[in-house]
Structure 1
Amino acid sequence: MKIFKFGGASTKDADNVKNVLSLISQTSEKDLVVVISAMGKTTNALEEVLKDYFSGEKETKHSLKVVYDFHYKILIDLFSSTSHYVFGKLNSIFEELKYFLDTNKSKNHAFVYDQVVSYGEIISSTIVSVYFSENGVKNTWLDVRQCIKTDANYQDASVDWEKTQQKISVRVNTKGITITQGFLGAEHTNNFTTTLGREGSDYTAAIFAYCLNAESVTIWKDVPGVLNADPRFFNHTQLYNHISYREAIELAFYGASVIHPKTLQPLQRKEIPLYVRSFINPTAPGTCVGKGVSLDPMVSSFILKTNQVLISLSSLDFSFMMENNIGDVFKLLHEYRMKVNLIQNSAISFSVCVDNKFDNLEPLLSKLRENFSVKWNENVTLYTIRHFNPTEVKALAENKNILLKQESKETVQLVIKE
């Protein structure tokens, strides 16, 4: 049994859906779980629906039509006639979404987010499954929410591994091709839809691999594999042939975008190799993440995280920042769901660089001001270099406004105000 995961770029239009079918045919794999993300930028488009829904100023009719028309165009290009039953399926899914929006009474943004945004994966996996069937690739469509059980921490749910293992063991046939959704789960009390965090489809693939004792996981992307830097921001990038689990976890922790941070732990526990390969050039070997050498080739990794917030705290009476103070800060960071990417402290100050992805900065700052003197910088960029050399650091820092620098034996981090 192998697990294939296809992201939004791989199914962003009809030609790419056809390419996915061709790719699977070329691999000749017979026993697969195929994890499908929402098509193209559908998640972003559904977030616009949600924005309109909560603003109260706009009707959702227009933003919903944008999402519908995008998928309708793909169906027109894939299927010969609008009388094909898949068009009815698309209409039914959208009617279900509209019904939820019309009848929902919850004001919990995270809850509503998960119920609405989840439709991207439901639609994409349905289209891919039907298209495969129409073209001779027999498959079973599986609602992943019947398998992956979580807590009710909407937008970033934690997996209940025992219940998930039981469900997957019963519902997934280890023979043949199963097509399912990434990113989604369901909380085990009321079965409301949950999501595993943005880019959580990689994690979904790892969950299935772990529970099925899969031979491998392959993530198909629009890049050749894991590169030593993001080609959108850096020139002359290099492909890694092999990365150890440990190094990949380090890179994911620091924010490397190719592999989701949660993906690697379950794979490492059972030593299941992870391949990152190109759906544009599927015969190329890509990158293998597994046991063995740390990096091949051994070149520096450059990681960039934009839209960060640097928060600097000091005690109001200039007393030392001790364990109890820092403990209070971390409790608040957890409460306001801030992802901490860098920490630095001295006798009387404490600084953190965080992701404000849940838009909780203002209430957090208000709470911190009760006990600390607070300074902050928004829209800063965090650069991380693994296995750096001084020349690279000097070149990166040249003519930049460096707010904070931190260096260890293998890693240097720079917080820069662009």
Structure 2
Amino acid sequence: MKVFKFGGASVKDADSVRNVAAVLGSQGFDKCLLVVSAMGKTTNALESVVEKYFKKEDYQSEIEEIKKNHIAVAKGLFKEEHTVFGEISLFFDDIDSFLRRNKSPNYSFVYDQVVSCGELISSKILSEYLNEEGYTNQWLDARDYIKTDNTYREGSVNWQLTEANMETIDRSKSYVTQGFIGSDENNFTVTLGREGSDYSAAIFAYCLGADAMTIWKDVPGVMTGDPRKFKNVELLSNISYEEAIEMAYYGASVIHPKTLQPLKQKHIPFFVKSFVEPEKKGTKVGISENNQHIESYILKDNQILMNIATRDFSFIAEEHLSLIFSLLAKYKIKISLMQNSAISLALCLEDKYHHIDELNEELSRTFNTEVVKNVSLFTVRNANMDDLTRFYENRKVLLEQTSRQTLQMVTA
């Protein structure tokens, strides 16, 4: 069995949905499971619905606008009497009904129940269209298979239960399901983190023992740098799991950081290919004698540099680190880079949930702190260590770190 993942850009409108069918026509759809993201910018729009709901603003008109967009896509694919139109309306009725009945003040809980509908709707439209075009498939609700804890917006997978659930899937058939979502023990929806659809595909691939997994993007594959940010980048045709994991950790946007580990454990080959040019080879991630180690560049924006120092000039000791890390975990703030001296600790942080001010308030009760927002983390993998000066040109470097063949610098 093989697993394909199609992101939001690949199903953003009717022409894009038709192109998915064309890709399947060239690649084959036999014994295939498709994992689908929400259409286009739907996730952003649904996030806005949740924000307006908590601000007690008019969120219903926004729901209606998102519904109209999906109906417009469906009209470009189906005849007016098709049952899919009724199903689309039901999904949006469910969103409105949930928000009217909801009593929970938990933002993350409400977020997951609402934003997850984007994937449910897009996968239903794609599944119905593929069946119309002769690509016989069954629509699966990913929440029936991927089980998690109740850490809303960042669910942790219960692998034992998830694997048991997927034993019921007939490997001889083809399916369409959703990325990004699972459910907890009470069957409430739990999302797997922003951009988590790649991770969903890897979970399915791991549990189904897939022959291969492919994510279809609007780029040729994994490049040595984002062509929108760097010049003269080239395609990486073959890289190892370890190299891909490092690139994802440092912020390469093509690969979700959690995706690689499940695939690596079962040595499942992982491909990144273009849905614009599906006949091209793209990038293969796996075990190969041809794996490349080419200088690559990753720029991670919207970072925060925090400097933490003891007030009495004592050493940063284990009890200090324990407090700092516990607060980072409490506020779900992730470390992108860390560097310590005897009396201070410098952290480059990613604050997805906007809790940096709360973190700083707590830390400043014990330490002297300094926060610099809107910095960037620039990483060079497989750097030529004999020629590093070129990377410092026109950059204001606030922090730097070099290890083996990796150069990292935090810049203003």
Q: Give the TM bin, normalised by the shorter chain.
A: over 0.9
Residues 130 and 29 of structure 1, relative CA distance in 2, 3 Å threshold: closer
Aligned to 1:139: 137
Separation in 2 of the partners of 1:293 and 1:359?
A: 43
- Secondary structure of the equivalent of 1:380? strand
- Secondary structure of the equivalent of 2:76? helix
Aligned to 1:232: 228
- Secondary structure of the equivalent of 1:377? strand
Separation in 1 of the partners of 2:98 and 2:29?
A: 38
Separation in 1 of the partners of 2:197 and 2:326?
A: 29
Determine whether 1:211 maps to 2:207.
Answer: yes
Separation in 2 of the partners of 1:284 and 1:256?
A: 21
Cα deviation digits, residues 323-373 of structure 1 (max 9, x gap): 221222111111111110000011111010011101111110011011100
Determine whether 1:395 maps to 2:390.
Answer: yes
Separation in 2 of the partners of 1:215 and 1:187?
A: 28
- Secondary structure of the equivalent of 1:150? coil
Aligned to 2:126: 128
Q: Is the 8 A contact 1:243 1:293 kept in 2?
A: no
* Residue 78 of structure 1: how far off its partner (Å): 1.0
Q: Is the 8 A contact 1:245 1:289 kept in 2?
A: yes
Q: Is the 8 A contact 1:246 1:294 kept in 2?
A: no
Residue 97 (structure 1) aligned to one of 70, 73, 95: 95
Q: Is the 8 A contact 1:241 1:288 kept in 2?
A: yes
Aligned to 2:176: 179
Aligned to 2:352: 357
List runs of 5+ in structure 2 lacking aligned partners: none
Letter in 2 for 1:194: V
Separation in 2 of the partners of 1:272 and 1:373?
A: 48
* Residue 394 of structure 1: how far off its partner (Å): 2.8
Residue 341 (structure 1) aligned to one of 336, 339, 360: 336
* Residue 80 of structure 1: how far off its partner (Å): 2.8
Aligned to 1:316: 311
Letter in 2 for 1:352: L
Q: Is the 8 A contact 1:242 1:289 kept in 2?
A: yes
Aligned to 1:110: 108
Aligned to 2:39: 39
List runs of 5+ in structure 1 lacking aligned partners: none
Separation in 1 of the partners of 2:356 and 2:189?
A: 27
Residues 216 and 182 of structure 1, relative CA distance in 2, 3 Å threshold: same
* Residue 295 of structure 1: how far off its partner (Å): 4.1
Cα deviation digits, residues 363-393 of structure 1 (max 9, x gap): 1001101110000100001101111125764
The share of aligned pairs that are identical, in percent, is: 47
Q: Is the 8 A contact 2:29 2:135 kept in 1?
A: no
Q: Is the 8 A contact 1:150 1:159 kept in 2?
A: yes
Separation in 2 of the partners of 1:67 and 1:29?
A: 30
Letter in 2 for 1:333: L
* Residue 63 of structure 1: how far off its partner (Å): 1.4
Separation in 2 of the partners of 1:152 and 1:98?
A: 23
Separation in 1 of the partners of 2:236 and 2:27?
A: 22
- Secondary structure of the equivalent of 2:109? helix
Separation in 2 of the partners of 1:389 and 1:131?
A: 50
Letter in 1 for 2:282: G
Aligned to 2:61: 62
Letter in 2 for 1:59: D
Q: Is the 8 A contact 1:244 1:293 kept in 2?
A: no
Separation in 1 of the partners of 2:237 and 2:68?
A: 40
Aligned to 1:267: 263
Q: Is the 8 A contact 2:37 2:180 kept in 1?
A: yes
Residues 294 and 116 of structure 1, relative CA distance in 2, 3 Å threshold: farther
CA RMSD of superposed structures (Å): 1.2
* Residue 84 of structure 1: how far off its partner (Å): 1.7
* Residue 232 of structure 1: how far off its partner (Å): 1.4
* Residue 176 of structure 1: how far off its partner (Å): 2.0
Residue 166 (structure 2) aligned to one of 165, 168, 172: 168
Separation in 2 of the partners of 1:59 and 1:10?
A: 30
Separation in 2 of the partners of 1:329 and 1:303?
A: 27
Aligned length: 412
- Secondary structure of the equivalent of 2:248? helix
Separation in 2 of the partners of 1:105 and 1:294?
A: 56
Separation in 2 of the partners of 1:104 and 1:110?
A: 13
Cα deviation digits, residues 289-326 of structure 1 (max 9, x gap): 00135842x32111111110100010011111122212
Separation in 2 of the partners of 1:6 and 1:396?
A: 35
Letter in 2 for 1:203: Y
Separation in 1 of the partners of 2:99 and 2:354?
A: 23
Q: Is the 8 A contact 1:244 1:294 kept in 2?
A: no
Aligned to 2:24: 24
Separation in 2 of the partners of 1:289 and 1:61?
A: 44
* Residue 401 of structure 1: how far off its partner (Å): 1.4
Separation in 1 of the partners of 2:195 and 2:374?
A: 22
TM, length-normalised to structure 2: 0.98
Letter in 1 for 2:314: S
Residue 298 (structure 2) aligned to one of 300, 303, 308: 303
Separation in 1 of the partners of 2:362 and 2:188?
A: 32
TM, length-normalised to structure 1: 0.96
Cα deviation digits, residues 182-236 of structure 1 (max 9, x gap): 0000012x11000111111111111111111110000010000000111111111
Residues 391 and 69 of structure 1, relative CA distance in 2, 3 Å threshold: farther
Separation in 2 of the partners of 1:213 and 1:331?
A: 36
Determine whether 1:327 maps to 2:326.
Answer: no
